[in-house]
Amino acid sequence: MSRRRGMRVQLVLTGTAMLLFSACDQSGPLTTVDAKQNTGVSLNANQNPTATALSQSAGFAGSMAVNVEVAPRRAGAINAIMAGAAPGTLVRSITGANPSSCGIQTGIAFDGTNLIMSCWSNNILDVLSPVDGRLLKRLTVTGISGGFYALAWDANLNRLWACVNQSRIYLVDTSDPNGDGIVDVGESESKFTGGGCIDGLAYDGADRTLWMSGDATYPIYHYQTSGALIAAHTINVTGGSFGNSGIAAGGGNLYLANNGGSQIYVANKPPTTSTLFATFPRRIEDLECDDVTFRADGIAAIWQQDAYDRDIQAYAIAPGSCPFGGAEIPVVTMDVQPSKVSLTTTPIINVVLLSNGLFDATTANLTNVFFVVGANVAGGVPVAKRGAAFITSTGDWNRDGRMDRMVSFSTAALRTAGLTAGLTNFVVQDATSASNKFRASDTVAPTIAP
C-alpha cells in the first residue's frame, strides 16, 4: 500500500451546535481562524514549516463543512470536537511520533493517561500524548524475542496485555519504577499462546477475559486470561469479504474493525450481528477505549491506528459505553418479582440480585443501588426503606452455593420515573461506588401491566 503524502478530513456539521475546533503542534506561533461563517474552511498545516496552532469556538446554524489537511510524517493533531458528539463522529486525528521509523504497527493501548504504541520489528513500546502525538517515553522490554503486535490495557491489574510474535500473550508492567525506560525481566510475563493476535486484542472487564484476532481474518478468539479457550467465533460480522482486525470491548458490546474496508462495527457478545459504527479512509487496525481524554467535552472515544503510518484517530462514543482498560461494570443477572406487575395494584417490586464470580450481592452498597427506567439515569429510583432501614434480605435464591440479595422498590416511584405498561428496558445498578459496581438485567423481563 503506497503512503499518502497528506491527509484531508472533511467534517460536515449540520443543525445548531457548538463547534470546538483546533489544530495543534508542539511549538510555534499561535494563529487563529474565523470559523463563524457557514462556509468551508480549509487549513493546510504544510504551509507553515514550523507549526500551526488554531483554536476557535463558534456557534453555528445550518450546515458547515470543515476541511483539514496535515502532513502525515510528524507529530501533530487535528481536532474537531463537538460537545456531546454523536457516536462514530471523528473527534481527533493525530500523527504520532515514530522514532524507530517503524514501517508496520498494529497495536494501540490507552493506560488512562497516555497512548502506548507497538512496532512489529522491535521490542520497544512508544508512549505518546493523546493530545498531539508527541513522544513522552520509550520502554524497551527485555526478554522479548520478536516484535509487538496488538495491545490492550487492563485497568483491573494496571498492566498491559501484549501480543508478541503474532500469537504469544504477555502481561507487561509499564510503570518503569527505575525511570530508565527498561522493563526488566520479571516485569513482563509470558502467559499463553493464543490462536492469533496480530491485529486485535481487547481486555473485557465484564468477565475478565481476552478477545483477539489475527491478521485481518477470522475467527475471533475468546480466552480466559489463564489461556483457556472459551470459543472461536467464525461468523463474519465486519462486512463483505473483509476479515476482522481491531477489537475493543465495552458496554456489553464488541467494537470490531476491518482494515480492508476501513470500517468499524459494533457487535453483540458473542459476535453474531453488527451495525456500522464509523468509516475512515485508513487501514484500521487495533482499537482501544478511552473515557478519560474527552470527558470535559461530554464524550468518550475509541482510538484506532493505521497499519503503515502512525496516523491515529479517535471516534466519539457515548460516555460509559466503553471504559478504558476494560474497567467495565460487571454484568449481573436479576430476578424481578412478581413476574407480572400492575402499576396500580402492585405496591412493591422485589428484585433478587444473583451473585456470581465477579459480584457479591451481599456486599452491595444499597445507598448507591438504583432502579433505572430506560435512559433515565438521573431519575433512578433508590431502594425502598421502612423507616431508616432498607427493605432487603439475603438467601441463595438460585441454589448455586452463593448468597444473593433481594431489594425492594416502590412501584409508585418507578411509575413517576417513567415505568409504563409493556416496558422492558430497565436495569438495576450501582454505577458510583468505588468497588463492587454492577449492572443487572432480567433474562426474562416481567410483564408490566396498567
Looking up residue 441, the CATH number of its domain turns out to be 2.60.40
Question: Is the Cβ–Cβ distance between 188 and 173 less than 8 Å?
Answer: yes
Task: Domain count for the chain, please give it.
Answer: 3
Q: Are residues 55 and 119 in the same domain?
A: no
Structural domain span for residue 252: 97-326
Return d(Cα 339, Cα 331) in angstroms, integer.
21
- Provide the pLDDT for residue 239: 75
111: DSSP letter = -
- DSSP-based three-state secondary structure for 47: helix
Query: Of the residues 304, 326, 348, which one is the last residue of a structural domain?
Result: 326
Domain-located, residue 244: yes
Same domain, 318 and 360: no
Widest CA span in the chain: 74
Spell out the alpha helix ranges (H) of 111-216.
none
Look at residue 127 and tell me if it is in a domain.
Answer: yes
Say if 89 falls within a structural domain.
Answer: no
Residue that finishes a domain, picked among 309, 326, 343: 326
Same domain, 45 and 108: no
We report the CATH number of the domain holding residue 139 as: 2.120.10.30
* Residue 249: predicted pLDDT: 92
Could you say which of 307, 326, 345 is where a domain stops? 326
Q: Which amino acid is at 389?
A: A
Residues 341 and 299 both lie in one domain: no
pLDDT digits (tens, 9 = 90+) for 47-57: 322 222 222 22
Q: Is residue 78 part of a domain?
A: no
Instruction: Decide if 86 is inside a domain.
Output: no
pLDDT for res 75: 52
pLDDT of residue 318: 81
Whether residue 344 is contained in a domain is answered as yes
Q: Could you report the per-residue pLDDT of 267-287, keeping only the tens digit for each? A: 999 999 989 988 877 778 889
In the chain, which stretches have pLDDT less than 50?
Answer: 1-74
